[in-house]
Amino acid sequence: MRLAHKERQTIGDADGLLLRGLMPRWLVALIGFAGSVLGFASNLYASSFRNAITAITDHGWLLLLPLSSSIVASCSVLLLYRWQLKRRQELIGISPAELRIGADALESALDDQDVIVGRSLRYLEVKRSSEDLVVFVHGLGLDANDFRPYMAESRFHCIAVTLYGFNTEEKDDPHYRPISLQSHVQLLSYALHKVAAMYPRKRITLVGFSFGADLLLFLSQFAAQETKDLAVRRAVLLDPNVNHSTTTISSRIAKIDESQQPTSSLAKILDSANSTGEFRNLCEYLYKITSKNFAQIRRHAKEVIAELDAISYDKFLDRLGQLSAEVGRANVVLSFDYEEHFNTIARGAAARGMDIQRLECSQLTHFELIGAAFLKDTLEGVLSSEADEP
């Protein structure tokens, strides 16, 4: 995982977001100014207003003008209020939920060393009437909350999954001990089947970021048959790791001595910052992952990295080809942090018969790929362009 400039949007109160993001600032100012002027004028010239109204009553038909204006203004305000209320309800509608892991999870041949039945996978969901259901998978040490800003604005039904043991509440819970990469992938497949059963008529799109994108690529390796049975419509991979060179921070986390407290080793990671901005981003990232079960994060990093090529792109491209064959469509978006890899990856994809039009090198940095604005443009573009395809 690479750390670069990160502009994170947060959701405060719903009113603030409505005024900032859903209603233009100029309209807010205009409404406020017009109301102030009208109120000031009616107080200052109260007698003139009364005389004007008295004169108008001598010509009854003229009453229709102010009356119709008043009705139009009142209806406009009412409609605006109802629209705001609906949008506010959608924002508040991002609900936490959990999926209980039953004995049927063992049908996916989970690692016998991982005891997970009776525990839960937690997720965030915002329900909308869209036929498209978008399922998000987060990066190393992150969680479903990283997708909240986009989920608040999306027009699609959205679910963001937090991987097993990656919630802050599970940090010191002995029932959520670290599990293997194989179990993580098979639990993700298990969750996807449950979601598909809940919404059988919806078209499922999988979106993975960083290590979350890697997990989607591992589906064909650890849960091939289950993935085929899902009939996922498409997948969008945001900065998947292509080899060891893209795991700069994750590699350091994986090498931390398990017998020691990680504090001093994590502090040394800050020395890699090349600018004040990158230092700030590293501090924010490390602060977040230290609120989680660090043993879980370390094991996950170590096992994912072990599955990657050191220098070659072959394993990445092979898995991408398999995923594309199983889900129908697989789009890959790489950040500018990956630009030195793009040409070789594109040539390798073309040599394997893949559509290189589905590979993109954006002008954004790593964490900007999960910004609300970029996700909105990317997902609405991908899903809208393919809405009528079989």
Q: Determine if the pTM surpasses 0.85.
A: no
**Based on the domain organization, do 160 and 115 belong to the same domain?**
yes
State how many domains the chain has.
2
Which residues form the domain of 182? 96-385
pLDDT for res 62: 47
Domain end, chosen from 62, 89, 116, is at 89
85 plus 127 within the same structural domain: no
**Could you tell me if 138 and 61 lie in one domain?**
no
Query: Domain ends where: 89, 117, 146?
Result: 89
- Please report the pLDDT score of residue 67 as a whole number: 44
**Looking at the structure, do residues 345 and 229 belong to the same domain, yes or no?**
yes
Do residues 51 and 165 share a domain? no
Q: Which is nearest to 330 in space by CA: 223, 219, 190?
A: 219
3-state helix vs strand vs coil in the chain, percent to 5: 60, 10, 30
List pLDDT tens digits, range 7-61: 333 333 333 333 334 445 555 455 555 554 444 444 445 555 456 545 545 554 4
Residue 310 CB contacts under 8 Å (≥ 6 apart), including other chains: 243, 244
pLDDT tens sequence for the chain (390 residues) = 544 433 333 333 333 333 334 445 555 455 555 554 444 444 445 555 456 545 545 554 444 445 455 555 555 555 564 555 445 545 558 999 999 999 999 887 778 889 999 999 999 999 999 999 999 999 999 999 999 999 999 999 999 999 999 999 999 999 999 999 999 999 999 999 999 999 999 999 999 999 999 999 999 999 888 888 888 899 999 999 999 999 988 999 999 887 777 788 888 888 877 778 778 878 888 888 989 999 999 999 999 999 999 999 999 999 999 999 888 789 999 998 889 999 999 999 999 999 999 999 999 988 899 999 999 999 988 887 665 454
**Shared domain check, 69 and 117:** no
**Domain containing residue 133: CATH number:** 3.40.50.1820
Tokens of 181: 């990469």
Tell whether 390 is covered by a domain.
no
**How many other C-beta atoms are found inside a 10 Å radius of the C-beta of residue 369?**
21
Is residue 6 included in any domain, yes or no? no
Reported as a single tens digit per residue, the pLDDT across 247-275 is 988 999 999 887 777 788 888 888 877 77
